[in-house]
Structure 1
Amino acid sequence: MNSAVPVHSVSVHIHGLTVRHRRTTALDAVDLAFGPGVHGLLGPNGAGKTSLIRVLATVAAPTSGRVELLGGDVSAPAHRTAVRRRLGYLPQDFGYYPGFTVREFVAYMAWLKEIPRADAPAAVERAVARVGLADRIDAKVRTLSGGMVRRVGIAQAIVNDPRLLLLDEPTAGLDPEQRVDFRALLRELGRDATVIVSTHLVEDVAAACTEVTLIAAGRVAYRGTPQTLAGLGAEAGAADFGDNPIERGYAVALRRQRSGAETTGWTVTR
């Protein structure tokens, strides 16, 4: 396993993770580790990113392999329950009650996460303010724009100050200014928590992430920093692969994976 994460600080440890959906293998014997910071998951559609996020969120079980979150194996029911209290999760398509106000919806999610009743109102207001919706906290969710609804989803994910935050395409529907604010929030959250962001937008990774994992065809195609990924884009012949170095590096890493190589920020192994 290629990882620059010190063992003592690992929040997520994945061993031989395989996920199959009927006849399709979404993840194929993946080994990964994540510690505090903001980690980007890149990859084409169908690469296995959402399958990985769902397993880490404990809403889907692996076909085989072991997943350790926040110090324990989530196959143990007691630890899985404990992890869910310390977990924040925004799925790509999240359900909500349109008749709820923003406050009511985030408060409901706080209750599900077993935040103490006395602490919940302040936690809700803090989470909503962090996503820039303090002035809409008592608006019905159904009256909000798509980008605002997405921000409500982010608020519910962070209401419990999670130690592990999982976000699947969190900037979908956000305008450019909102995405800049969101990236700043990610960097703030990543100071103490482990934040894993699945996205297809390489510019979000370049701006907010400390580490990048590129998944392709269910396997790790690249692991390293955004800077080393951009460095791949400086290689001869990569000029036509994208509009900037990190896009070109992304394309180079995908092509290497398809040719049978796994790329890290330091080595290429066959």
Structure 2
Amino acid sequence: MSTEPVVDVAGLSVRHRRTVALDRIDLGLGPGVHGLLGPNGAGKTSLIRVLATVSRPTAGRVRILGHELSGHRGLTAVRRRIGYLPQDVGFYPGFTVREFVAYVAWLKEIPAAEAGAAVERAVARAGLADRIDARMKSLSGGMVRRAGIAQAIVNDPDVLLLDEPTAGLDPEQRVEFRSLLRELGASGTVVVSTHLVEDVAVACTGVTLVEGGRVVYRGTPESLAERGAEGGPEGPGEADELGGSPAERGYTAILRAHRAASATPPGARR
């Protein structure tokens, strides 16, 4: 049996003019739900966009489902088998939810005989079955987000890439979405970029923390919470200062420790 990661990134760098968004990232992801955490500007969206084949890396190698993203054939094969929810969902305002999701099903080359059922199934899983024939322009922000989730899963993707998927969802909808994530992660690979640590703690099987365009931590939600008990650079006593849930304390402690180490002159490190 092959042990090759479903998502395999090596030496990945992305630069926007003079800004380094990602700096030589190495990352391998298998089945499950993987939370991608980090502060604003850390490089999460840049990484998701490269994996979604929306943007190209400046350097490095990306392989998804065994296909290199460096050539047309690999890009085409991967695009059929991934789902992608960007931060800003673009749509034609006159489309109904059904038409919006059906359009994406057509782009994903789902056979016409199967597309109708696939659209209805995806919309129902996203919690919008009662609004399937409503115009997109009539939806609230949270409903637009759920329509975006529906289009991302309409092709039952092997790899699902979600950028801030719970933005605009109310607490009850977030709970339902976490359940959907766990369901999707049981049979595929899901990558969730978010700033909500609790979404990761509850729904994810793995955690990757990005800071300054680099991976600074990889582990499980449980190990993240354990780091919260350990505290930051000042030791266990700092945990009391950090506040929040154990996972949130762990997230803050890791960032503080990384920043403290980065600020230390190389000659002073042991």
By the TM > 0.5 criterion, same fold? Answer: yes
Question: Cα RMSD between the aligned structures?
Answer: 1.4
Structure having the higher helix fraction is 2
Q: 1:142 aligns with which of 137, 141, 152?
A: 137
Q: Residue in 1 aligned with 2:239?
A: 238
Which residue of 83, 108, 124 corresponds with 1:113? 108
In structure 2, the partner of 1:72 is 67
Match of 1:87 in 2: 82
Q: How far does residue 94 in structure 1 lie from its aligned partner after superposition?
A: 1.6
Gap regions ≥5 residues in structure 2: 231-235, 263-268
Distance 1:223 1:55 in 2: 20
**In structure 2, distance between residues paired with 1:238 and 1:26:** 30
- Hey, what's the Cα distance between the residues in 1 that align with 2:24 and 2:84? 24
Number of aligned pairs? Answer: 258
**TM-superposition CA deviations, 1:203-248 (whole Å, max 9, x none):** 1001100000000001111100011011011011122113111111
State the SS of the aligned residue for 1:207: helix
Tell me, yes or no, if the aligned pair for 1:242 and 1:251 is still in contact at 8 Å: no
Provide the TM-score with structure 2 as the length reference.
Answer: 0.93
1-structure distance, mates of 2:2, 2:39 = 30
Secondary structure at the residue paired with 1:31?
strand
Determine helix, strand or coil for the equivalent of 2:110.
coil
Q: Give yes or no for contact 2:67–2:77 (8 Å, CA) kept in 1.
A: no
Q: Which residue of 1 aligns with 2:191?
A: 196
Residue number in structure 2 paired with 1:258: 259
Higher mean C-alpha deviation, range 252-261 or range 23-32: 252-261
> Matches of 2:75 and 2:246 in 1, distance apart?
40
**Which amino acid letter does the alignment assign opposite residue 143 of structure 1?**
S
Determine if the alignment matches structure 1 residue 226 to structure 2 residue 221.
Answer: yes
Per the alignment, residue 265 of structure 2 pairs with none
Q: Distance in 1 between matches of 2:28 and 2:243?
A: 29
Contact 2:178 2:202 in 1 (8 A): yes
Distance (whole Å) between structure 2 residues aligned to residue 148 and residue 167 of structure 1: 16
Q: Deviations over 1:132-180 (max 9, x none)?
A: 1111111111111110110000000000000000000000000000000
Equivalent pair of 2:164/2:192 in contact (CA under 8 Å): yes
2:207 matched residue in structure 1: 212
Matched residues in 2 for 1:259 and 1:240: separation?
A: 17
Structure 2 residue 167 is matched with structure 1 residue 166: no
1:103/1:124 contact within 8 Å kept: yes
Over 4 Å off, 4+ runs? none
TM superposition shift of 1:260: 3.1
3-state SS in 2 of match to 1:109: helix
- 1:175-211 Cα offsets, whole Å, 9 max, x none, are 0000000000000000111000000000100110000
Structure 1: which 5+ residue stretches go unaligned?
Answer: 1-5, 262-268
Task: Give the match for residue 266 of structure 1.
Answer: none
* Percent identity between the two aligned chains: 71
Offset at 1:257?
1.6
- Matching residue's letter, 1:258: R
Render the CA deviation track for 1:10-54: whole Å, top value 9, x for unaligned. 110000000011111011000000011000000000000000000
- For the pair 1:182 / 2:180, whether they are aligned, the reply is no
Q: C-alpha separation between the residues in 2 aligned to 1:176 and 1:186?
A: 15
Distance 1:28 1:22 in 2: 14
Q: Bigger radius of gyration, 1 or 2?
A: 2
The residue number in structure 1 matching 2:266 is: none
Preserved CA contact (<8 Å) 1:128 1:134: yes
Match status 1:248 vs 2:243: no
Q: Aligned with 2:3: secondary structure?
A: helix
Give the TM-score normalised by the residue count of structure 1.
0.93
Structure 1 residue aligned with 2:49: 54
Tell me the alpha carbon deviations over residues 52-110 of structure 1, each in whole angstroms, 9 at most, x when there is no partner.
00000001000000000010211021011010000100000120111100000000010
Answer yes or no: is the 8 Å Cα contact 2:209–2:218 preserved in 1: yes
